[in-house]
Amino acid sequence: AMASAAPPPPDAEPPECPVCLSPFDAASVVPRVLPCGHSLCGSCISSLPPASASAAASSLRCPLCSQCVPFSRALGPSSLPKNLALLSLLPSLPNPSPPRTAGAASASAARPLPLPLHAAHSRLLARFRHAILPESASPLHSSPPGHPPAGLALGSIACDLGAPWFCSRGHPVSLLPIDAPVSGAPLQEPAFYRPSHAARVIAAIDALSSAAREEMLDLVAASTRLARRVCGVYGAWMGPEAATLWLVSERHTPGVPPLLNERSDELETVARIGAVGMEVCEALMGLHGEGMVLGCLRLDCFRLDHFGRCLLDLNEVLALCRGVRAGVCLSMDGALVAPEMTAILRDATWMRSHDFDGLIGRNSDVWLLGCILVALVTGDERLAAGWNTDGSYDDWQKEVLARLDAALVGTQLEPLVATTALCLSYEPESRPEIADVWKCIRGSQMKPGADALAPADDIVAQKSFRCLLLGELSSMCSAQAAESDDIVQPSQDSDDKNSTPDDESNCGFSNGESVCTAGTDEPQRNGVFKSSTLLAHRDCVTGLAIGGGFLFSSSYDKTINVWSLQDFSHVQTLKGHEHKITAIVVVDNDNQSLCVSGDSGSGIFVWRVGTSLKQEPLNKWYETNDWIYRGVHCLAVSGTGYLYTGSRDKSIKAWSLEDYSLGCTMIGHKSTVSCLAVASGILYSGSWDGSIRSWWLTDHSPLSVLEDDAPGSIAPVLSISTEANFVVSSYENGCLKIWKDDVLVKSEKLQNASIYAVKLNGKWLYTGGMNKAINIQELLEDKSELEIRDVASISCDSIVTSILYWDEKLIVGLSNREIKSNLKVH
């Protein structure tokens, strides 16, 4: 007999209706299967509008795939089949109780009915879906007594989390309350409403101000892009019973102060101070690149990960900001606030108006950096924060300089004394840039004559910044913070008790993309990448190609849009595909230019490119294969007159561009062929089986197989780019591999998510994917090895699906249907 399917774990959340987010059950919220294959609950199906006025009683449009499907409104949802697979995932019901009398049945409360999300909540869910932790994460093991504290609660993740968090079970986290329950009697949940976890969280987020919501999203996005500089902010979470909304952040147990207490010999201590100081500079510059400044800081806001890297804990910073705003941390030991920031906090007019434009800049964080350096060198946090205590500023500055001279004169870091003194200038305009401090530390540790790859600090050109100290999240719970000092101040001794040691026009509009850089000679100007946004598609952009003086873009909306390369104005839309377009390529011949597109239904369309683009394709045909393996995934062309298609049937087909006949079929991959590239008479093919194969273009015979034999390194290949004798490939697990002359010379994990696009141009490498950013890196080739240097990161609003390099500019396709063009990088 066939073994029965294993039941779901007890703590697993039941499947939900994708429209109203109500958990499915076997009685009132039964999953029904539409003819298109998607499953909705019966009440949502009944409320869907008809596909057209002429077929109002016999059709509807699926809200997930927009297909028009037949549906009899006379028979209702019960005429549709149940999704038995989803029903099998529901938790088993308890044993049925004995029959009840009519009186007992009437006395029992009616079962609550689910209600669809409010329209505004649906829009919020689309924005915050990646920033809402599942209820099963349960990072808070026990609710704090009384009202939620203004400081941090500590806990750990209760289960393994996948994308986009990638957090293992038991990993320590900190929780910051960002919404307190309403005072008075607890609100009773209506008997007719049974919200899911996501609906409860979205309702709590909707109750916040718009500024608080934006600040929360910015923190989650910034921590993702600055993964090696700040602790990750995972997002929002609510307990199953409590009404408090928590901001959950990664937490590492070791802090910087205990590390500095381990004083050994002078050389090791100086080297340790220099390493930590440089990482503090990089964390602050990264936040400035995201348009954020801190406003206040403390040494124990920095944590050490299991590799010994110094990371900034943003939850610790927010908890400290709340204490400063409440007035209980301003004079505490270790709380660092710049003089100009203190003046703003003490000015009631400014604080009531919330108008800080022109008052806040990066210079206030330079003061904080100087104080951190004083604490690192002298080991005296009270001295670093003592400028606003008893005594004058001049006396405090003299004492600081004397202590720095005594500790650093005669060591490699002696030049840091003068630089730190400039950081502590009372006038903000007199303070240096943070990059200059980084260069000072780096230069003092290098041999004379060696050039330091210094990060440029001119990366930010914003006129205003978001200050965490003056933000909405820091102003919450201020009244509660004032009640108790020990609640406000993040505990320095509680780590060991609660954590484990390991852990919309078609022509577009101009805008600026904020970046964070870490090098010199970056392909950018004034730190801001200027771009234009092209809008014409209605779904995810899947491919970009240039030819015949036009830019072509393909999309899941089954159309190809044509743009002028002179001003990026929209020229025409090519329609004809019946399925999602998955790939596009342009063939430039002496006589004519052709645009070739492939779709998920195995259709291949050829369009003539010229001064007058024709609406109808020049030719079209379909690959003949089983419906299970239907679909063209990638295209490539060669100078030998062949078009190459990679398909789900694991094969590569060569089509003649003269008569469009099938020349040959290349077989070797064990899974879907996902990407193709042509260079130097060789065709490279990448596959979901994790391998790259090369083929001769002359006779289409196999040449070699590029594989990584390291254990656990097999992952689907998503993109390939070639330049000279280099082949660069990106993978679903966030890895990047570089091959030179068919030999693997570099393998590096860039991120914990898929890299969908990679482009190699000379020594510059451009990658993008799930992290919603374009990473720019430089290849530094030595005689014996190849190094990759991080240069810049361009933040995007959505997942990067394709990257095209043309005329010293980047053109980027995004999953939110946008195209970023005119990104000048040289």
pLDDT in tens, 262-293: 655 677 778 888 888 899 999 999 998 888 89
pLDDT band at 118, cuts 50/70/90? low
pLDDT band of residue 527 (cuts 50, 70, 90) is very low
| Lowest mean per-residue pLDDT among 381-395, 492-506, 527-541 | 492-506
**Beta strand 292-293 with 466-467: parallel, antiparallel or unpaired?**
parallel
192 vs 154, residue with greater confidence:
154
The pLDDT of residue 106 is 42
Per-residue pLDDT band for 585 (boundaries 50, 70, 90) equals very high
Return the minimum-mean-pLDDT range out of 318-327, 561-570, 618-627, 816-825.
816-825
- Residue 49: is the preceding peptide bond cis (ω within 30°)? no
In whole angstroms, give the CA distance from residue 68 to residue 53.
12
User: What is the largest distance, in Å, between two alpha-carbon atoms of the chain?
Assistant: 93
Query: Are the CB atoms for 337 and 330 separated by under 8 Å?
Result: yes
Give, for 436, the enclosing helix (H) or strand (E): helix 434-445
Least confident stretch, 187-191, 228-232, 454-458, 741-745: 187-191
Instruction: Work out the number of other CB atoms within 10 angstroms of the CB of residue 744.
Output: 16
**How far is residue 330's CA from residue 485's CA, in Å, rounded to a whole number?**
11
pLDDT computed for residue 627 by the predictor? 66
Query: Would you say 646 and 602 are in contact if contact means Cβ atoms under 8 Å apart?
Result: no
- What would the two tokens of residue 666 be? 């290349």
Confidence of residue 9 (pLDDT cuts 50, 70, 90): low
Q: Which of 19-33, 453-467, 479-493, 545-559 has the highest mean pLDDT?
A: 545-559
Q: How confident is the model at residue 314, as a pLDDT?
A: 92
Among 2.60.40, 2.60.120, 3.30.200, 3.30.160, name the CATH number for the domain at 130-180+197-250: 3.30.200
Say if residue 520's pLDDT is above 60.
no
Identify the pLDDT of residue 497: 36
In angstroms, the CA 226 to CA 282 distance is 10
CA distance 161 to 169: 7
CA angle 283/494/296 to nearest 5° reads: 35
Contacts of 6 (CB under 8 A, 6+ apart): none
Q: What is the pTM of this model?
A: 0.48
Query: Which position has the higher pLDDT, 331 or 555?
Result: 555
- Among 152, 143, 10, which Cα is nearest to 89's? 10
Contact 132, 236 (CB under 8 A): yes
Average pLDDT over residues 605-624: 83
Task: Let me know: does 796 contact 513? Beta carbons within 8 Å.
Answer: yes
b/e per residue 90-119 (b: at least 16 CB within 10 A):
beeeeeeeeeeeeeeeeeeeeeeebbbbee
With a cut of 90, say whether residue 128 has pLDDT above it. no
Average pLDDT over residues 80-107: 60
| pLDDT exceeds cutoff 50 at 294 | yes
* CA distances (Å), origin 664, targets 540, 645, 660: 32, 11, 12
The pLDDT assigned to 149 comes to 47
Thinking of the domain 530-622, which architecture would CATH place it in? Beta Barrel (2.40)
- Give me the pLDDT at residue 180, please: 47
Comparison of pLDDT for 584 and 630, the residue scoring more: 584
Give the pair of three-digit tokens for residue 810: 């980047």
Contact 169, 134 (CB under 8 A): no
Average model confidence (pLDDT) across the chain:
78
- Whether residue 150 has pLDDT greater than 80: no
pLDDT at 147: 41
More confident residue, 332 or 287: 287
Question: Angle, nearest 10°, between helix axes 434-445 and 416-423?
Answer: 170
Distances in whole angstroms, Cα of residue 372 to Cα of each of 166, 423, 705, 818: 31, 10, 52, 42
In sequence order, which ranges of 248-346 are alpha helices (DSSP H)?
256-261, 266-289, 314-326, 339-345
- What's CA 516's distance to the chain center, in Å? 14
- In the 8-state DSSP scheme, what is residue 317? H
Which residues, including other chains, have CB under 8 Å from residue 75's CB and lie 6 or more apart?
A: none
For the chain, what percent of residues have pLDDT higher than 90? 20
Amino acid, res. 391: G
CATH architecture of 256-445: Orthogonal Bundle (1.10)
How confident is the model at residue 448, as a pLDDT?
Answer: 56
Contact between 135 and 12 (Cβ < 8 Å): no
Q: How far apart are CA 695 and CA 710, in angstroms?
A: 24
pLDDT of 819 over the 50 cut: yes
Q: Please give the average per-residue pLDDT across 25-47, as a whole number.
A: 87
Q: Where are the domains of the chain?
A: 31-89, 130-180+197-250, 256-445, 530-622
Q: Pick the more confident residue, 478 or 782.
A: 782
Tell me what pLDDT residue 532 has.
81
State residue 710's pLDDT score. Answer: 75
DSSP E strand boundaries for 103-206: 153-156, 172-179
Confidence label for 350 from pLDDT (cuts 50, 70 and 90)? low
Question: Which pLDDT belongs to residue 101?
Answer: 45
Q: Residue 435 pLDDT > 50, yes or no?
A: yes
**Amino acid letter, 807:** D
Write the pLDDT tens digit of every residue in 204-256: 888 888 888 889 999 999 988 888 889 999 999 888 776 788 999 998 877 77
Confidence of residue 490 (pLDDT cuts 50, 70, 90): very low
Q: What is the secondary structure of 679-701 as a DSSP string?
A: ETTEEEEEETTS-EEEEETTT--
Mean pLDDT of 769-794: 85
